[in-house]
Amino acid sequence: MVGERDILALGDLDGSDILGMLMRAQELAACWRSREMPQTLAGRRIALVVDDGGWRNTTAFDLGVRAMGGLCVHAPIRLNATEAVEDLAAYLDNWFDAVVCRTPELELLYALSHWAQAPVINARTRQNHPCETLGDLAFLWHRHGTIDGLKIAVVAPAANILGSWIEAAQVLPIDVVQVYPARWHAPGESPRFHVTTDLDALQDADVIVTDCWPRDEEPSVLQDYQITASVLDSLRPNLDFLPCPPVTRGQEVSGDAMLHQACRSVQVKAFLLHAQNAALEWVFGTL
């Protein structure tokens, strides 16, 4: 069972709550620029559990907690190691008001959520990456003043980045299309999510998101799906290109695509911090 204030998958949340986080992220971005962050996490103790690497969103969580007056402690534990999840949950509850966890398997986070009294936030699994998508959506709100009706083309295999965009399409007024070879299509098409191998689907996209090529596929199979500057030149002039780091130049993106005027790689990641700060406020009921 998911707690009322857990963030494990975007599809578990009400769309209105996500929209509230996106709007709050705009205010927190302004606070960040003026170096006047609200101290809404004062007195809160947050555990940061990272057992599969990565640095962007976990660093942003650490920084955000501290900037808003809370205490963030790195807990060097693994959910799939020798201690049972129910025991780890109880020990963490002794000391912490919330747990931010980056771990390979989503089912382990659901188990932690079941046993823990403290709220649990998913900082990445192999199946989904809700904070990354929240950050992208917060940036898109900043750019357009709304996300209503946006078409998101995800040129990526069925993996965690696509997973959270599919979840977002379940509860938000956006449309998501996966554009990729059929072997890597995600199951479960729905009114706001569908799959295709046809690159023409990029023509009316408002946003293009990429992810790393699968390691067990021949590059020749994926080459046509590389986003290049010439591809971006052929699409909408106000397109937002959001390559998901770590970016692999020469594979899912070309070097010139990263220099294209549509590429928002750096700007969008600034909003990862602001969206996660808004999520922390929501977890503690201060949003």
* Cα 220 to Cα 213, 225, 247, distances in angstroms: 11, 10, 19
pLDDT attached to residue 82: 87
pLDDT attached to residue 269: 96
In tens, the pLDDT along 28-82 reads: 999 999 999 999 999 999 999 998 878 899 999 999 999 999 999 999 999 988 8
Q: What is d(CA 246, CA 215) in angstroms, rounded to the nearest whole number?
A: 14
pLDDT attached to residue 162: 98
pLDDT attached to residue 287: 74
Amino acid at 166: I
CA angle 174, 176, 177 (to 5 degrees): 155
In tens, the pLDDT along 135-168 reads: 999 999 999 999 999 999 999 999 999 999 999 9
Q: Do residues 39 and 13 make contact, with C-beta atoms less than 8 angstroms apart?
A: no
Does the structure show a pLDDT above 60 at 1? Answer: no
Q: What is d(CA 85, CA 172) in angstroms, rounded to the nearest whole number?
A: 32
Pick among 3.40.50.920, 1.10.10.10, 3.40.50.1370, 3.30.499.10: CATH of 10-129+272-283: 3.40.50.1370
> Going edge to edge, which strands form the sheet with 98-102?
71-74, 45-50, 98-102, 120-124
Same fold, 10-129+272-283 and 131-269: yes
In tens, the pLDDT along 252-280 reads: 999 999 999 999 999 999 999 999 999 99
- Average model confidence (pLDDT) across the chain: 96
Say how many residues make up the chain: 287
Does the structure show a pLDDT above 60 at 100? Answer: yes
Q: What percent of the chain has pLDDT over 70?
A: 99
Q: What percent of the chain has pLDDT over 90?
A: 93
Nearest of 75, 109, 90, 141 to residue 2 by alpha carbon: 109
Does the structure show a pLDDT above 80 at 3? Answer: no
Does the structure show a pLDDT above 70 at 2? Answer: no
Query: Domain 131-269 belongs to what topology?
Result: Rossmann fold (3.40.50)
Domain ranges of the chain: 10-129+272-283, 131-269
pLDDT attached to residue 121: 98
Give the lowest-confidence range in 58-67, 173-182, 213-222.
213-222
The structure's pTM equals 0.96
